[in-house]
Structure 1
């Protein structure tokens, strides 16, 4: 055997051992280096699992024509007792050059691994008095190794301990990731069970909508859901995601109208530590969290123009940039957006970007209001009574006569499905349908869609403007009562149950002046 400089040998071997993040690749390079100075046909790297009498092989490098052992080696109880006793001894280097000269226990263990005559060097790997596992270098034939070989291989005890520690940590992380994926899948399934994966009316009033959803769900194309407040746009977004190839990936829901204007960039795209006052740590945005999944932008018409520009870049370039960051981050996200507003009209008035409108409007789906599909109301009533009874923990004893069901079908339902749900919950709470249902037919809806369309030419004012008109009137009536006061107890925001800044933003959007000097009529 040639003379070897141990320092050079150790340095070069360690460089090969840590030359790759992939443990198998690194060990293959390490083995190739050892083969230049000593007999070496293969490597085993593994750990002991005393709790179940097993040894697990993390890395197995065998010649192609040699039969590999199982990744998990089961030890008979008597054999394991022998090994446990050996593990209590001080770690060291053990060489086996002729299996026939070894004790029966050693021969029995070797028979679980080797299918032919083998010489091997076995090193116990220990860290802080804890036996982690073992490293085995082997060569075919008998009497292939001497004491010099054992000393040289033992030089790598510390690097091998680091290597196996990294492998174990990596496997722990992988296990946690697998558990997280499994938990996420389980929770998504539970959420579907809680919210219901059946869309009421799918075979009747919503049959046309469901046909479109089945067509577009398997694609990655953006979808724009249009319809009045309360028609179930979020339910449709859920259905699109569940029908897509991304169904096992995240579905992130964003209410664009509920995010303060100054925080929109941070919420959607994240920020770097120190990028602004209060940014004490790096934060991932909602688009990052939706990577490989779907993001649902509810009320996308509420986004300010500055945020629309950045959203356009995400759709065009498939990249985001955190606030305060300098490096673009690639994201793979499907975008589903929804609005109750007329975005096409907002484009004409300059409130919504034309190029963003074209990007979002790839596959528009109009969801009809409840008054246009009265045939769905009986099924919805039964569904909500059953679900709300479970939520309220009461027996579903409510039975509606044909007369009451007919009243429900004749009502205009300006609040759509959400209003129907709230009415039925109120009935279940009070236990008296006579106080609620008769009033539905005689009261005039706060917003009569058809009446407003008849009053104004359809080309000038659409359904959405009618809603804005009555919302403006209602806010002005509250401001008149508070003499223009917005904040504080008894102020307009307090009466409306809104944050003052939210109310001011809504007033600004509806062109309602504010201040005590303003007279509200």
Structure 2
């Protein structure tokens, strides 16, 4: 139950980059689990000797706050105690001096509450308060349920503080931002490791500690390199070389020298011995991206390396033994290429011992809020923006509905474009919406041309003409000539149409 609650709660916290909206989604879910009337968040600011309330949500509304409550020196010392419990149940508010001093000034009706501290290492950032207007409302089971929510709540607080430009007053929060992100479904740099990519990460865990070759499959832009890196980092070779090679970017004439290296004098310009990518990866992992782009001649030499674990430099005669793990990746259908004779079957069998299929982004929309947060933060740092641009919930919904043919890579580019257009926020992604249908008039009749129905995959022009002429003949009842005929409808000479029909094999 706790795992389900954590997952659902995290999804709601990631529903918006506005803290009050996130807290509102979270509250409406958690009130089904806890006897609460509201949730608030505050920051502990010992330098100013105060607590600042930053957000609140209840049944009526959700709002960002900027109310500050001053503290005495003694209260600051109490809040700074390292052994202060992370979660405390206060069923009668008057029994806790600091809480009784602070909370009723903002929320007068509070009678009992659970306080959960947001902590990074030993630094107390602030508190999330789950409160009730009724005394004695909470039990230990309620505290156990929410304990795992601390890191997600701390992360959305970090994003909000960046937006409010308060990070200067909370340097510890800025220093721990990356740690918090990793705690929230960003494991080994994989966003969505516990959500849309959960099955993929289970496969990574299963194969990582072995030295078996791995083949990563998936559309362009899904993050095959990220998964390859996760395999390496989970393996016993972590900390050893991880050499990345884009097979499609190396000219055929340079493949051997780049992959296997060369000896001095092997060819003009070879003034000294050079190690190839395979030799550089000795002891570690080599990642062969776009393996389907290798020509057949290079596939033969790669197969020999996989079978014998040895290479020979260009211009050399000595076999060099290597200790290498091979991870390959491609967006192409290698089995179909094998059938067409474009990829060696024996190499396919050698590589595809353990294939990992990465789902496209459109099939894991639950990861989009996290990816959006990550991308916005990355672009904020890239462009050195003073504040974190916000994404309103309607725009986040638009991102979730978009099909993402270019997957994660396209999403990063889209968010970069949005940040360039509106660096101060809120970000606008309306440019992702399909084009409006075009209305043209032919012979006093309006015809709608809808470009949004056209996909990215095209067919040969002659096939399209064949289909269109056949459709015109169907509309005209097979009539080619005369009034109401296909030639008139298509505005072409009847003889030209008849000639085109003959060429395309169309019978009237």
Give the TM-score normalised by the residue count of structure 1: 0.48
Identify the structure with the greater helix proportion.
1
Give the TM-score normalised by the residue count of structure 2: 0.49
